[in-house]
Every structure is written in structure tokens, then in C-alpha cells.
Chains A and B, each alone.
Chain A
């Protein structure tokens, strides 16, 4: 197994740094192969999901309607999709547009309420760091709502160089997002990349073997 990992890893590193046509075509092939292998893993995952529902029905750990809902909805979508296809305008497409998209948006928008309550607890100006965090968040929030534009319009004065807004939240928000925020994201990207590269090398050279257990 370690040999498979070592050879696969070294070939894929080599194809990136050495421009050898054989390795490049092998890379494309292995990308497709990985998708095919992952599909079988997905089948196992779905089997696990359904087995869990059947177990819940058997052992009555929750009301029977709940696991049945998952089984019936999954089966209905799969059977109808396999019979009539998943093309534009079909049943599955309608389910996606009319059901999945608004439902997922509703679940995510639920977080708005929880973020509001979390921010009440988190945004207490207890020390200098939290004041900076509070100020940055407030500027970005006000800068992205109509109030920010209205304040900028109200406080605009005309200088020789042209109009200048004294309280310009949208511009400040843009600056925060594009300058210090990008700098920090870059620094984090460096750190994350170094971590990924060294973990990958540890996996390839057999130092990290947790997956074998």
C-alpha cells in the first residue's frame, strides 16, 4: 500500500514540475480515475445513510416518520430521476430549483439570527483587540447597506480635486476588504500551504500512516 502511495505521489509531483507528455496525459487520466473511484465511495456513503435510517426504524430511537421521510424522499428522487432523467425542465430540475435552492438558502439565512445574537456577546469592547474587531466589522456592515451610501452623500464636500465624502463607509469597507484583509488572507494562505505541502510529503513518504489503521 505504501508503494502505491509513494509511486502515485511522486508521479503526480513529477508531472507538475517536469513537462513530460506521458506524465501529463497520465495526470489527466488519473483525475478521471479518481472521480470513478470516488463514485463507489459515494455509494458506500449512501448505503450508510440509509442503513442508519433503517436502524432508527428498527430500534425506535426516534419517531418513525423522520427516518421514513429521508428514505422515501431519497428513493423518490432517485427513481424518478433514473426513469425520466435529470434534464432541464424535468421533475428533478424542478425539485432543485423550487425546493433545494430555497431550502438551503433558508437554512443558511437561519444563521443570520444566530450571528446577530453571537455578535451581541462577542462585540463587547473589552480590550483594544476587540475594539478593533468591532470597528472593522461595523465599518464593513455599514459600508454594505444603503445607510453607508446615504451618509457618504450627506457629508460630501466639493474640493478642488472634486467631490469628497467625509464619512465614506462604503470606501472604507472596500479598503479594509482589499488591503489589510487581503494581506492577512495571504499570510494565512502561506501557512496553510506549508502545512498542506508537508503533510502531503509525509503521506507520500509513509511518515503519516493514520489512514492505514
Chain B
């Protein structure tokens, strides 16, 4: 019953995609987050070429993705998701719902440090939240294991005695992006035969067998539901063992719930999970070469925890060093230590000394030398001749007492920030639709405005964000507090210990920036009222977000707008999730090729139209909304000045600026301005304001005889120009029709005061 295998040289993420290819999931709901994003990209690539038929749903956030997966799984489908870190935590609320409802699926958790401060590299702080969810947690320490565990996960979760969703956890970057020699099934049918069909006793898709999924269940019933969950986990360990044996027969690759390495005669051992355990095997070999009897314990399953296996495997040991890639502050031993110690404590005869060491947080490298240091600690512990702290961190750095980094450039003075470069003129009622007018100096004089961001930030060459932001800031007088959502502008300006912001800056995760700043605005007003801040102190509060933050953060942003706080929200729209490698966002234009809307024989690019964020925000009734592009004129500067006036006097101002992304538009770095101008000329991105509910067109290419077809704009970007080929003619027409429809609608709105 062996199945033929073929050799490959692939990464962990690529191996998830290879597994998905042969599992043939019905559905994948996802939201991009480093380092798991690639999984959806790779499957999207296969799909665009017609190699898989999996439905891919790019959700508006991980919470939405988890909801989509829950719904899909309830219909008896094979379902996949992939996420990391805060994405996982954002979906966390949904996970016990799905475990409690007993709906199997597979979620690849590519582990990464949980914010904050934001860190995109590997540790297990996200994984440890999984322990409470009721999901099965499988561990994959290498790209090969990632592949195997994904296939095993499907069969395990769907087993009639188990019926649970399954997490497959692999290390971000160290496994997800590490290429290793590995093997995959040659034939998809062998995997299908191994898995068998998905059999569900209940489904939400059979109207002749209606069910109520997710009832309101209080005492005395819920405890019984949870006992069922407990029994399912108890059964899962046995089922896992059996499935792994069956898998080994086909592949010769074996997985025990608890893998042991050179443990037979060992007196001391390490307990490590995932990639660090693989690294530590080399350290064990080296220390053994010196004649010392050491070994390694490495679980392949964390939920259910292999308690019995651990007790049996460790009974000859006199010491065990537990390595933790996450800490539970205040517990003096991370989550793994608690698991291991409770297993050992259950055995009354156990006399093993255990110590815990936290290592490798936030992607800090775990090298063979680090493993050797842990082994050494364990060996010293066996002698019982010295006192070794039970808990500690390895790899921290003390720094130098009483030193602080120097201020390297002058702090901006109030006098520098109040200039005569911009001013606001109130217009008499009836003279114009506008209430106010911004008077702005010529660009030759605006250069005197000190930049609120210092040079040396790490944006890509030709990035439009920073010229766009600076033009907007040129219109702002006085002191500001800025809040940036997670995204390109945030990442490239604040890589610790560096910051490009010369003004006070806050980051919050990109579903929640608007509420965060609204809290600060209100406290500023209240402290001023109480006299805790001087009455003449004046601050302008500005939130800066990408278009991604306006997807995942749309709800909280609308809530903030409805409350009409005195602040500005500025969206820089580069038409995709560029910081994570150019995935589609909801503002991405129809037909654009992105890493999650690839072009192939089965796909023409993004399949739904760009989001009209300006109309959504205008519908909240805030006093000032605008769109703009950077240019050599002063339109954007004027809008900055107006936004500030409205934020000080009336309430929330929202602006959206289109900015060039040469990297992910595949356009020339020098051509940013021309591309933006064409976006305005073809009316894809009209330049207008909505002031107190009245729509004012600032630039009407049609009236000026400058309106061009969308092709004129699209042809300048490598990620769009495929639409000009004859085979995509209908997609192009669909796009042009929608652009024209929105433009006509906007024109009518601008002509009628009631629209």
C-alpha cells in the first residue's frame, strides 16, 4: 500500500500549497498576514492556472476569514485557512465557536510574535493562545512535516470519534520560508484514497434535514457539550496514532505524538517544539560526541497533549530543560512548562528536575550554540551540586546602565510650524458651495515648511506615500499628533530603534486606529477643560492609514466617523496590501493582477470592483471628505488646510489620496505622477470634495476635454496592462462601464445640492 513519492526542494508554505493541491479543499477563507500570506498566494496561482478548483475568499480581516470558514465547514466542505500572530488573535473569538459546533477544517498557523510592539518574525506567542480553543493542534517542525501534517489533519479532524477543527502550526520564516529537501505524493488519487470521502452526519445544506446550528445553551447543558469536547480530544490521541501508522505505510514517514531523539540512555534532555528542536538535534549529536548522555523530546501534537507518552519517555531522565518560544508573564515558566510539569507531577514517583528557559522571541535566532547552552544547564542540573534558577531567559541583552540614545536632529519648535504659508478664508454664504477657502503659498515657498517626517525612512524608491503625506502635511499648521495604522508607511518609518517621525506618533493595529485616536482626542479636550493641559495648547490629530486599514478597519472607522470626533483620517491608497507583498485589497481595481488575484488561463485578475470608500465615509455625514493626488500644484496642500479647519471647528475630516506603488504596480519609479494624473483623467479616481454634504468636483477632465479611456492609464502599469490584450476585452469593458457609471453619478451629485 505504498504510494509513490517524488523529491522536491520547497519551503514550508510551498508544502502547504502542495498538500492543498492533493487534498483539493472546497474552500479557503483567508486574510493576508506575514508570514502565512504566501499560502493563499500559491493556491491562488494554482487556481488561476486551473490546477485546483478551491474557492478562495479574500475576507475583510481574519475575523471575517474565520467566519467564512465556519460557514463553509458547516456545509460539509473541506476547508482551509492560514494565518499568523495578530491575525490569529483577531480570529480567536471564532475558534471556540467552531470547536464547540464540532466542524472540522484545517488552519495553518504560521507562527509569529504577537504585537506589540509589532514584530513580524517567529515565536510561539500566537500558538499558545490556541491551547484554549478546543482545536486539535499539530506541530510541524520542517517543510516535510508541514505537508504531512496537513494531510493527516484532514483525516484526523473528520474522524467520527473526533470531529474537530485542526491547527497545523509551523515556525514562521524558519520553516515557512526555509527550503529543504522533501517528498510529496506523486499521485493525488493516493491522497484522496488515504483521506476517503468527507462524511458529515449533519450539514447546513440539506433542507430535508434541517438543523439548528449554534443554539442558546445555558446550564445544565453546556457542561455536557464541553465534556463531549473533552472526550473527543481523548479519542484524538489514539486516532492520531493510528492515522500516522497508516500514513507511514504509504510514505515511510513516521510521526509519534512525542518524538524522542537519542533518549534511550539519556540522563538529561531538552523539551523543544518545531524548528528549534530540529536545530537542537545537531547540538545533541555534538554533545554526545563528548560522551555525555543527552537527548531530546519533541511533541508532534500539542492538543491533545501527549501526557502518557511524556511520562513513559522521561522516566529515566534526571533532568529536563524546557525551552519556550513564548512567555506567560508572571507564571515563571511558559505554557509548555506548565503542560510538561503537570504531566510529570501526575506521576508520584517522578523525580525529574525541570527548568524552563525562554528563547528566540520575536524571531531571535536559535542556534546550535543556544541549544548546547540549554543542554549544559540540564547536565549541571543532574549533578544537583549547584543552584540553577528554575526559570530564565536566554538571549537577552542588558544594554548599558544610565545611557540613552542621543537626540540626533533638532526637535521641531512651535514657531517653525506656524507659518504664513497657508490660511483659511471664510466665504460668505451663497457665494459658493464651499464654506471656506484655503489660501496656500506657491510651491517655491512651501519648501520652507519643515517636514514632519525626517529623511532616512526606508520606503521603496519612488514610493508615492511620502510625497503624498508631505504635501498634505504642508497644509497643516502647528503641532500634530499622528497615528499610523499597520502598513507600509508605519513599517518603513519606525524600525526600532529608529523612527522617522519628528512629531508624536502612535501605532495601533489596522482594525483599530480610528477608535484609538478618538480616545486620545477626547482626553485632550477633557484635560484641557480640567486645566490639566493649558487652554491655549493646540493639537491636530491625524490618523494615517493605507487602503488595507480601510478594509479590516472599516467598521471601527465608520463608528468613529459617526461619532464625529475632531480629527482627520487620511487614507493613502496604493491599491493593495503592499507591505505584505501586493495582495488584493477591496480598493484594488477590477482586473488588476495581484499576488492573490493572479492572471492565468482561468483568471483575468481581480474579479470584483474597487470599493468606493469616499461615498461610504460621506454617508456617515461627516463635514468634510475629499479625494486628491499628489502633484506639482497645491490642491492636496489646500485640502490639508481645509481638513485641519474642519477637524478643529466641525468634526471629522476624511481624505483619500491615490499614491503610486512602483513595486507592486510594476511601473517605473519615475512615472508616479503621470500614472496618477491618468487615473484622474480617465475618471477612475475623480478629484473632488464633499463639504457639508455638497459635492464639489475639483477637476473635471471631461469638461476640459482631457478625459481618456481607462486603457491610457492601465497601460502604464505592468500589473494592469494585460487587460489591453484581446482575450481580456470583456473584463476591460466591464471595468470601463463601471468607471463611467460612477463618474456620471458623481457629476450628477455635483450638480444637485440635495444629492
Q: Is chain B found bound to chain A in the same assembly?
A: no
